[in-house]
């Protein structure tokens, strides 16, 4: 058994008003690390006959976070990284070959953009977080338009 190596991923941003998956409008932003939380929104279905709470799954809910380096040609506002923007995120899993997989999160909304300037690390870093969207997991199909 061989551990799967992390390789980052990328955030795909489309110019406002463009139809998703149009190659000409796609902006690929490489990320240094990412996290993806697959959660469940539930409904409390507890009743008086139980001593503990019960929660029933109602709908899936995804949240995510990516970190990237700030490039002078891709400032957040020019790249479509603003609170409320709807984007696509490709989470790359594995470093190539048979182990290469992707998680694809479509129509997800950016909820926070954080800039961090740490002079000991030499560059300004961004952390972008978001919620919602339609998740396709463990696909081997890389995005053909980038």
Q: Report the chain's C-alpha Rg in angstroms.
A: 18
Question: For residue range 40-95, what is the model confidence (pLDDT) as tens digits?
Answer: 888 888 887 778 888 888 888 999 998 888 776 666 665 667 888 888 888 877 76
On whether the CB atoms of residues 87 and 13 are closer than 8 A, the answer is yes
Contacts of 84 (CB under 8 A, 6+ apart): 109, 110
Residue with tokens 């709807």: 86
Taking alpha carbons only, the member of 121, 122, 110 closest to residue 79 is: 110
- The encoded tokens of residue 65 equal 């976070």
> pTM of this prediction?
0.75
């Amino acid at each position: 058994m061989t551990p799967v190596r992390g390789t980052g991923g990328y955030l795909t941003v489309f110019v406002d008003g463009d139809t998703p998956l149009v190659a000409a409008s796609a902006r690929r932003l490489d990320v240094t690390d990412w996290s993806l939380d697959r959660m469940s929104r539930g409904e409390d279905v507890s009743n008086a006959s139980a001593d503990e709470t019960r929660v029933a799954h109602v709908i899936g809910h995804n949240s995510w976070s990516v970190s990237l380096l700030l490039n002078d040609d891709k400032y957040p506002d020019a790249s479509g990284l603003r609170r409320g923007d709807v984007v696509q995120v490709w989470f790359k899993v594995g470093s190539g070959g048979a182990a290469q997989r992707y998680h694809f999160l479509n129509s997800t909304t950016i909820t926070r953009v954080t800039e961090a300037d740490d002079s000991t690390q030499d560059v300004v870093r961004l952390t972008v977080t978001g919620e919602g969207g339609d998740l396709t997991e463990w696909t081997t199909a890389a995005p053909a338009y980038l």
